[in-house]
Amino acid sequence: MIAELGLALLWIAAALACLSLVAGTIYLRGGQKDLAALVRPTSVAQGVLTALAFALLIALFVRSDMSVELVARNSNSLKPMLFKVAGAWGNHEGSMLLWLTILGISGALVAIFEKRLREDTLIATLAAQAALSLGFFAFLIFSSNPFKRLPVAPPDGQGLNPLLQDPGLAFHPPTLYVGYVGLSVAFSFAVGALITREIGPAFARAMRPWVLGSWIFLTLGITAGSYWAYYELGWGGWWFWDPVENVSLIPWLAGAALLHSVAVTATRNALRAWTVMLAVIGFSMSMVGTFIVRSGLLTSVHSFAVDPERGTFLLALMAIYIGGALTLFALRAGTVAEGKKFALLSREGSLVINNLLLTTILALVLLGTLYPIVAEALGEKISVGPPYYNKVAGPLALILCLVMVAGPLLAWRKDDGQKLWARLPMAVFAGALVLVLLVIFGGRIGILPLLGMTVAGVVAVASLAPLWGRNLRRTPLPTWGMVIAHFGVAVALAGMGAESAFIKERLVAAAPGDTIKVAGYEVLFKGVRPVAGPNYTAIEGTLIATSGGASHVLKPESRMFPGLMGTAPTETNEAALLTRPGGQLYVVLGQPVAGADGADRYQLRLWWKPLVWWIWLGGALIALGAALSMLGRAQLLTLWRARRARKDRDRWK
Amino acid sequence: MKAKHQRLILALVALAGVAGAGVLGASALRDEAAYFRTPQEIRAGKAVVGEPMRLGGMVAAGSIERQADGVTIRFVATDGKASVPVQFTGIVPDLFAEESGMVADGRMRADGTFVADRILAKHDERYMPPQMGEMPKGLAKAAPQG
């Protein structure tokens, strides 16, 4: 019954989306004015029903109802509970339902909380959001039905890809999806404002918290995904320029550009058309990413299934939405009023350069991601790897960071170069100090890590400059947000530079009792023992790392998941990590090697990764900064303070 | 300067930026893109020694040889029509095994051996590099799609 109910809910939710769209359209065309009253409640109901359908899918996974095809293919009754639940979105159909749920809930949240937008623009926004939902409902129901029953239920399921059986999976995809799909709100705002021709500071101020909100989740999702890949794959890398990573980075770049340009529109009433354009690009990039990942064009652990029908369907949806929004933009761009003027050396000017650099990096990453697909269509198989991305994105990102040094210190409208210079000596000194220290003590370092760490030094100091000479208690929340986010960029950059420049690696085949030296650590390999997990068996190695008198035990595992219901057995490596203030020791246990004398040796890979955890700390700081900024912009705090003030007054009465 | 002029200048700067990015991207792609090759293409002389590339194939049955240092392996990659010896130092991925698919990043050495920096194996039964799909049916031992 649960599966049938889930499908029915999807149909009803789709009907409600259709109703919102039709009612909104009639209202906007000047027909029945009272139809507007219908749009908010239908948007809310549609979001709630879609979420309920998703909850039912989770219930099916929890109950291990093997008569449902999706559960049988992706779950198993022996799996730990967390992975049964997470299994609901660890596959194509379930993840598309999650996508739709977030789309619906975003619309519902806009319908409930958005009070600042003009009524007709709000209705147009909700109608646009409903139109987006409708297409993806069709995709889900007609080509990716998650509730499909099997004619005969198998005794048990095939289980979840063991690589995905990690607590990281429970959080990484939903977080990323909230960010990805949350950008749909900005897209719908842009479409709504283009329809009603309301593009100005009020519109920008209303859109700003929504952009920040989805960008926080994108940042957290990418950061978590990076850490997950780092320890789960056992390769020790934190970014592979894998196409699937790229398609999460591309909307993030668009979101970063948008939240800076929307600041200009909200504060200075400039860059209006550009902000609207970026809002369209942001979610368009989310759709392009989904298309690339879901169409099976890519070789990746993320592409669950290869199905040309689905690819074509998604391509058609994307063409309609992106094409439609861009056409609307082209028709209305001429009517967007002129923005306010500004000098090149001004806060606006620096934000324009920021936007140009971010969109250029976006275009280059997109080019590298799409190029192999296009080349393959033309008959040449090509892979574009890290050297390309590091070459094109690295230098531009460093220039972007330098702009970030100056931007927050510039006044709006017009500033003076000499005054700017006078605000910078500490930051320049910090950068010079880092550079000199690295050149003297750093040994041979690549040019990119060297510049990266230097720029990180400059940014770290300069990012704090907006707080100098200010009463910290009176400093507005968004300023704190900007400072923390920019400081986070410096922290992450320092981590990336230090890890690339000073990484130490040892790869050995060791017998129990052997000691391996890596970066000041003496690591004693004690031996291995078999261990059993809930749905796997494993070989667990024990190593004791000693440095400066302190010892730490490391237990890397090599896990074997048995094949379930006809699938092949799978092995995964669980790396062991020792986190120290200066970095991380990373140990992978490889395969046994039969020695000539009969004694077994084991392959061991050890890395010392200096400051590597700063990368994710930086990501978390960026998200925290954005969150503070959003809290300040959404004026929740103002409301709360007002309420408290009212309460205080009441108490006096 | 009028607002209209400023807008025009901004648009031109943006255009120049995009054009510059295009040139930068195209030149970097020409230098850095690695070609995907099958053993047959390598035998046909399509691979330049020392050029970064990606080799895809099946690991031939009985071909994996472990070297004395315990961390270097040699094996033969085949696509059924031709084969290429491969050398790799490191920990092979979890799913690397004889008679199953693999993709290796690396370069050809002058003696005809492919030296791999990194090896990827197919991740599970439901995941197969698209390039593998074009190999002879008997070689790609993938289970039918659920």
Q: What DSSP letter does each residue of A289-329 carry, written as one string?
A: HHHHHHTT-S-STT-----HHHHHHHHHHHHHHHHHHHHHH
Confidence band of B45 (pLDDT split at 50, 70, 90): confident
> Which of B22-36, B63-77, B98-112 bottoms out in mean pLDDT, i.e. has the lowest?
B22-36
The answer to whether residue A582 is domain-embedded is yes
User: By the 8 A CB rule, do B132 and B122 touch?
Assistant: yes
- CB-CB under 8 Å, B7 with A338: yes
Residue A539 domain flag = yes
For the ranges A271-280, A370-379, A594-603, the one whose mean pLDDT is highest:
A271-280
B3·A352 Cβ contact <8 A:
no
Give yes or no for residue B6 having a pLDDT over 80: no
Q: How many domains does chain A have?
A: 1
pLDDT value of position B18: 77
Instruction: Answer with the residue of higher pLDDT: A570 or A325.
Output: A325
Residue A652 in this model has a pLDDT that exceeds 70: no
Q: List C-alpha distances in Å: A406 to A140, A417, A456, A464, B7.
A: 47, 10, 14, 12, 23
Separation CA A582–CA A579 (nearest Å): 8
The confidence band for B136, taking pLDDT boundaries of 50, 70 and 90, is very low
| A77 secondary structure, DSSP code | T
Cα A25 to Cα A148: distance, rounded to the nearest angstrom: 34
User: Residues A75-111: pLDDT tens digits?
Assistant: 888 788 888 888 888 888 898 999 999 999 999 999 9
Q: Which of B34, B94, B128 minimises the CB distance to A383?
A: B34
Reply yes or no on whether the pLDDT at A460 is more than 60.
yes
B37 interface with A at CB cutoff 8 Å: yes
CB burial of residue B62 (10 Å; 0-12, 13-18, 19+): exposed
Looking at residue B125, its pLDDT comes to 38
pLDDT at residue B99, rounded to an integer: 81
What pLDDT sits at residue A219? Answer: 96
What pLDDT shows up at residue B140?
36
* Between residues A190 and A36, the one the model is more confident about: A190
Average of pLDDT values for B85-92? Answer: 89
Q: Does B50 touch chain A (CB under 8 A)?
A: no
Which chain A residue has its CA at the smallest distance from B91's CA? A590
Contact residues, chain B, for A306 at CB < 8 Å = 128, 130, 133
Q: Is the Cβ pair B94, A567 closer than 8 Å?
A: no
Residue B111 in this model has a pLDDT that exceeds 60? yes
The overall average pLDDT reported for chain B is 75
- Asked whether residue A605 is assigned to any structural domain, the reply reads yes
Rounded mean pLDDT of A127-146?
94
Q: What stretches of A333-446 show up as alpha helix (H) in DSSP?
A: 347-377, 386-406, 417-422, 425-441
Confidence of residue A635 (pLDDT cuts 50, 70, 90): low
Q: Is residue A509 part of a domain?
A: yes
Q: Is residue A597 part of a domain?
A: yes
Q: Once rounded to an integer, what is the mean pLDDT over residues A245-252?
A: 93
Return all residues near A412 (Cβ < 8 A) that are at least 6 apart. Answer: A267, A268, A342, A346, A347, A348
- The reply to whether A621 falls in a domain is no
Q: Which residue of B has its CA nearest to A566?
A: B143
Question: Does residue A447 surpass a pLDDT of 80?
Answer: yes
Report the percentage of chain A scoring pLDDT > 90.
Answer: 49
Provide the pLDDT for residue A525: 93
CB contact, 8 Å: A381 with chain B? yes
Whether residue A299 has pLDDT greater than 70: no
Question: Can you read off the two tokens belonging to residue A96?
Answer: 């598309």
In this prediction, residue A301 carries a pLDDT of 39
For position A131, what pLDDT does the model report? 96
- pLDDT tens-digit readout, A539-590: 899 999 998 888 999 999 988 887 766 666 777 788 899 999 999 999 998 8
Candidates B5, B54, B91, B128: best to mutate against A (most CBs of A within 10 A) is B91
In this predicted structure, the answer to whether residue A638 has a pLDDT above a threshold of 90 is no
Within 13 Å, how many C-alpha atoms sit on residue A88's CB side?
26
User: Can you tell me the ipTM of this complex?
Assistant: 0.74
- Mean pLDDT rounded to a whole number for chain A: 87
Where do we find the tokens 């809310």?
A44
Residue A134 lies in a domain: no
Checking if the pLDDT of A275 tops 70, the result is yes
pLDDT in tens, A382-423: 778 888 898 889 999 999 999 999 989 888 888 888 888 888
pTM of the entire structure? 0.89
Query: Is A569 among the domain residues?
Result: yes
Give the DSSP letter string of A213-247: HHHHHHHHHHHHHHHHHHHHSSS--S----HHHHH
Residues from chain A contacting residue B23 (CB–CB below 8 Å): none
Q: What is the rounded average pLDDT of the residues A118-132?
A: 94
According to the model, what pLDDT value does residue B49 have? 85
Provide the domain limits for residue A561: 504-613
Residue A377: the pLDDT is 75
If one compares A616 and B25, the residue with the highest pLDDT of the two is A616
d(CA B87, CA B119): 10
Contact B91 A507 (CB under 8 A): yes
